[in-house]
A and B are shown apart, each in its own frame.
Chain A
Amino acid sequence: MQKINKNVVLALLSLTSLVFLLFQLYYYKFYLSQKNGTVFSKVRGSQSGEDSTRWHVVRKFLGLISSHNIPVYLIDPLILGLVDKDIEQIRSSGGPSPECKYFCVPRDFTTFALLDKTWKPEMGLFRTAEKMGFQWLKIINKDPRLDGMDDLSGIEIPLHYIFKLASHAIHLVVFYERSGNYLWHGSLRLKQHMDRKFVPFRKLHFGRYPGAYEKPELLLVSIDDLKVQIPKNPSSFLEEMSHSRFLECRYREARAFFQLYPDDASLDAVEFRKKAKSLLHLAALTLNNLGVKFWLSSGTCLGWYRQCNVIPHSKDVDLGVFIRDYKADIIPAFQKAGLPLKHKFGKVEDSLELSFQGEDDVKLDIFFFYEEDDHIWNGGTQAKSGKKFKYLFPKFTLCWTEFVELKVHVPCETLQYVEANYGPDWKVPVKTWDWKSSPSNVQYNGVWPVDEWDDVIQIY
């Protein structure tokens, strides 16, 4: 009897569980179809109907924007990646293509870019879009170009548009020109009342972070019988995209800092800032021409992070460069640009540091950084004693930012970087700074052997 009972119980249990399972499968499917069937698109595989849907949506979208004279260009990494493989062929051929090779590949989105200044958002566009069957979503946010100024309001700008038709969506990223001659796009943040299931936002290629780009050269090509603008060099665009993350300066914190420590508005400070700015511009130009990646370091980085400006009592401009990016041309290039070498400490293998003489006592220091397994360090040398110092930093990656009308790199993990260098009290201005003892990450690193001094301590 017991056995029977057990069996009956088990059977009943499996029965209920089966019913439950059925219900859940049904619900799951229902839930997903609400999300536009995107997950199931994998399951359904590459049926030709789905493929041509994507192509049709793209075609409709291109028709829509060209009817309103809005110039967009393709920045979809997936398609550009495919296009890049056949770039020669695409550039040369203009005739019809035999098969749908690009716009039909399985994906949830097709991404386009739009330059803000080339259009004006008018309701007409969206009305036409609706008539064509598109559902659309606009994501707006504060204009970062005005963020640096207290007390301005009234401006929210469109950052992203999403046009959805059937199971495919077009992601239109709006790029803005900013001081420093670069393009910027914002991050995509949904506001409370927005439809979070409009499209699978997590899968978007743009919008997780803000990004900074050079102004691209465009090329009009015909892909899959659709005329579309693409970046002239897709592979370098994709490369740029992979590390385009942009950090906005912390304007609000900077204002709070100036509340506490009013800015130095003396003529000297104004003059120094002007010189430091032009020195930084010159250095950036020189290093960019050489293709040497650099970032704001030490005091200059602190100035950016703490007050969004040059610290007027800092007296020099500090840049960091990874030693793997070192080039022997650096010194002659700076000399050519009118910045003679002031001193050179260390050698490429160890603790290299270059100093160039800018206009009127403003000095440009370039510190070279050495990567280890769990940290990064740069070196310092005391000229008179030959003592070596080592400054340790936690590992970091590089992000773009805007500083004194320049697009430059800073460590993305800026707080750790600044804290490593200046300790937890970095928020308090210090006027007397000893580079040998003040930094909280300094380590004594021995003495240069005397016979190497001529090489590792060069002062001009």
Chain B
Amino acid sequence: MDEWKPNPAAKPHKKRSWYLAWKYKLMNQRALRKLCQTGAVLFLLVTVIVNIKLILDTRRAAYEEEEESAQDYDDEMLNVEVPRHPVNNKKVLDVEVYSSRSKVYVAVDGTTVLEDEAREQGRGIHVIVLNQATGHVMAKRVFDTYSPHEDEAMVLFLNMIARGRILIFTVKDEGSFHLKDTAKNVLKSLGSQVAPFLSWRDMWTFVGKKGGEVYGEKHAKSPALSTWGDPVLLKTEVHLTSVEDAECHWPDTELNRRRKRFCSKVEGYGSVCSCKDPTPIEFNPDPLKDNKVFNVPVAVIAGNRPNYLYRMLRSLLSAQGVNPQMITVFIDGYYEEPMDVVELFGLSGIQHTPISIKNARVSQHYKASLTATFNLFPDAKFAVVLEEDLDISVDFFSFLSQSIHLLEEDESLYCISAWNDQGYEHTAEDPSLLYRVETMPGLGWVLRKSLYKDELEPKWPTPEKLWDWDMWMRMPEQRKGRECIIPDISRSYHFGIVGLNMNGYFHEAYFKKHKFNTVPNVQLKNVESLRKDAYETEIHRLLGEAEVLDHSKNPCEDSFVPDTEGKVYVMFIRMEQEADFTTWTQLAKCLHIWDLDVRGNHKGLWRLFRKKNHFLVVGVPASPYSSKKPSSVTPIYMEPPAKEEGAVAVPAVPAAEQT
């Protein structure tokens, strides 16, 4: 192209006389004229060439866009700012709130944000929190204040809401029976005139700003005990504030940007969104020396319980030796709030389309999560599996780091679990002690990749089988006689009280009093003795030194075990064959430990603590340790109670608790 540059430079002389002379010359000199003609043609040609080149070049650039353009997701980087309504200052929201016996709804600017007319569900006080600047729903809760303790939860929730948020209340069916004075006072402090006098089967709606004005309140009294108050419909207007007023002014750091994004979207997480002194979202626990599990991936299995997930991740990220890069949270369903929590902590989260229903849905979610974990971390030999309703002990990773080599070397092991099914406040004592058990406890455990890839994954229960994954894993076809290592004092704590197989009563009876280790850096005792053969030697040593208890006494009585400390005692119970747990179940029941199925046994032997003494229970004659029984001792037999006595409602399937 360049050689053409000099040409244009020569052109712009345009004197008329010169032109005329030139024309004249041209007319007279054929050769010159011809030359000029060819020159002109050449120019034309060049123009054409340049033209073509330009077209080609533009084409090429356009072609670079390549075939693939199907996906059209926005680039994440452009999306850092929270999506918001275009907010004009002082916009007004129309709010409609309806309260009645069988139906409640809330509409904001014509959009229904809550509608509940399901029968036998959603009883109590519904609370909705709106962002005062955008009008977005930040939290939605229902507190069944007809039942005990729910009002406490409501108070807790209301106290966590930031000042300035808009609160909407409405009652469905009944909301006053267990609404105590504390809760009534909190509602009063929000500006409600009616709440302190709310009574049996009254209908009530209320809209107000936390720490500010009241936008409206309506109430319908129940005329008689047997009837409900008339439905009430409250229509009111709420004035929005500017975004700046609704946000805190934290220093601009990477962490605070995450915090800001989170806090403008959701509510009910308390001090994490406090303007003055927000609680940290990065914990930097001490690193572990020689951490063997630093590069082990951690899969957190979650559903739609974002508050649980928040609590769980806090404890997990505070545990010593945690490696946030290895954590992936798997959310069963396209729920936004759990994902917000995951992003708050800067972790990675993956959403999973729910498949099937109930237990099978959980089971499919587990499978997808485990497969994804090993795909994402192809180097990993193990994966730590956690659930969203667990607290994680400060020495969780230290415990695993000290024991994980066993799982690698001892083929007779099935898993390492942080949970001792029988480790209650009154039956667990020694944080440095580990056991081998035949049952898989779950609730914070380590899975070997080869076990998953070669054995479990190919035959994992299909979606149409409504099985619990953990029950399935406990089946002999899967477990094949292998055992799990567990600590005496659990390294996880199960706090969830809502869940598929979980309710308040069940939790109170079986989980609340579970012991949970809070001591950091526990040095585990004698880890090598957990290997298959070494463990037998260890048990025989223990039984050899154990003092045989007085079998004439009632084993349920406290006096059955002497008032000593640090001794080892043994008792023998009747166990006709391997699967005969009649006496054990009765004993477990009266000791107030897990009795819904058999857990924590090793060859007909159970190990626990009573009054700070190690307490061994041997099933005779099924256990190979029966030989240690002195001939003078008759194994204790406890009869199961007659059927009608077992009237206590207990969930049918004592599965572990999941989403």
Give me the interface of A with B, judged by CB distance under 8 Å.
3-4, 7, 10-11, 13-14, 17-18, 20-22, 24-25, 27-28, 31, 35, 43, 117, 120, 122-124, 126, 138, 140-143, 145-146, 148-156, 177-181, 189-194, 196-197, 200-202, 265, 267, 270, 273-274, 405
Beta-carbon contact of A180 and B378 below 8 Å: yes
Q: How far is the CA of A90 from the CA of B352 in the complex (A)?
A: 51
B560 to chain A, nearest CB (A): 48
Beta-carbon contact of B458 and A273 below 8 Å: yes
Beta-carbon contact of A24 and B64 below 8 Å: no
Q: How far is the CA of A429 from the CA of B77 in the complex (A)?
A: 46
Beta-carbon contact of B51 and A123 below 8 Å: no
Q: How far is the CA of A267 from the CA of B458 in the complex (A)?
A: 9
The CB with the most chain A CB atoms within 10 A, among B4, B66, B353, B454, is that of B66
Q: How far is the CA of A146 from the CA of B299 in the complex (A)?
A: 14
Q: How far is the CA of A138 from the CA of B36 in the complex (A)?
A: 55
Beta-carbon contact of B50 and A155 below 8 Å: no
A-B contact pairs, 23 of them (CB 8 A): A10-B37, A20-B47, A24-B47, A24-B50, A24-B51, A25-B50, A28-B1, A28-B50, A122-B254, A138-B76, A141-B71, A143-B376, A146-B376, A151-B368, A152-B372, A154-B349, A154-B350, A179-B374, A179-B375, A189-B66, A189-B69, A191-B75, A274-B458
Q: Which chain B residues in 30-60 approach chain A with CB under 8 Å?
A: 33, 36-37, 39-40, 43-44, 46-47, 50-51, 53-54, 57-58, 60
A58 to chain B, nearest CB (A): 24
A149-B368, A196-B61 given as contacts; is B43 within 8 A of A17 (CB)?
yes
Q: How far is the CA of A179 from the CA of B254 in the complex (A)?
A: 33
Chain B residues, CB < 8 A from A267: 459
Q: How far is the CA of A143 from the CA of B376 in the complex (A)?
A: 9
Residue-wise interface mask of B (438-481) relative to A, using a CB-CB cutoff of 8 A (1 in contact, 0 not)? 00000000000000011000110010000000000000000000
Interface size counted on chain B using CB atoms at 8 A: 67
A28-B54, A31-B57 given as contacts; is B254 within 8 A of A123 (CB)?
yes
Chain B residues, CB < 8 A from A179: 374-375, 378
Q: State which of A138, A178, A197 has its C-beta within 8 Å of the C-beta of B61.
A: A197
> Total number of A-B contacts with CB less than 8 angstroms?
156
Q: Is B72 an interface residue (CB 8 A)?
A: yes
Chain B residues, CB < 8 A from A181: 378-379
B584 to chain A, nearest CB (A): 33
Q: For the complex, would chain B's binding face be called helix, strand, loop or mixed by DSSP majority?
A: helix
Beta-carbon contact of B371 and A202 below 8 Å: no
Q: How far is the CA of A45 from the CA of B156 in the complex (A)?
A: 73
Chain A residues, CB < 8 A from B69: 189, 191-192
Q: How far is the CA of A355 from the CA of B462 in the complex (A)?
A: 36
Beta-carbon contact of B458 and A151 below 8 Å: no
Beta-carbon contact of B39 and A189 below 8 Å: no
Cβ-closest chain B residue relative to A119: B325
A191 to chain B, nearest CB (A): 7
The CB with the most chain A CB atoms within 10 A, among B26, B27, B37, B75, is that of B75
Beta-carbon contact of A191 and B71 below 8 Å: yes
Q: Is B351 an interface residue (CB 8 A)?
A: yes
Q: How far is the CA of A145 from the CA of B72 in the complex (A)?
A: 21
Beta-carbon contact of A17 and B44 below 8 Å: yes
Q: Is B645 an interface residue (CB 8 A)?
A: no
Q: Is B383 an interface residue (CB 8 A)?
A: no
Beta-carbon contact of A152 and B64 below 8 Å: no
B82 to chain A, nearest CB (A): 15
A156-B76, A270-B458 given as contacts; is B43 within 8 A of A18 (CB)?
yes
Q: State which of A25, A148, A192, A202 has its C-beta within 8 Å of the C-beta of B64.
A: A202
Q: Is B11 an interface residue (CB 8 A)?
A: yes
A-B contacts besides A25-B4, A27-B54, 10 pairs, CB < 8 Å: A21-B50, A24-B50, A28-B53, A126-B77, A151-B352, A154-B351, A181-B378, A189-B68, A189-B69, A191-B75
B580 to chain A, nearest CB (A): 30
Chain A residues, CB < 8 A from B51: 24
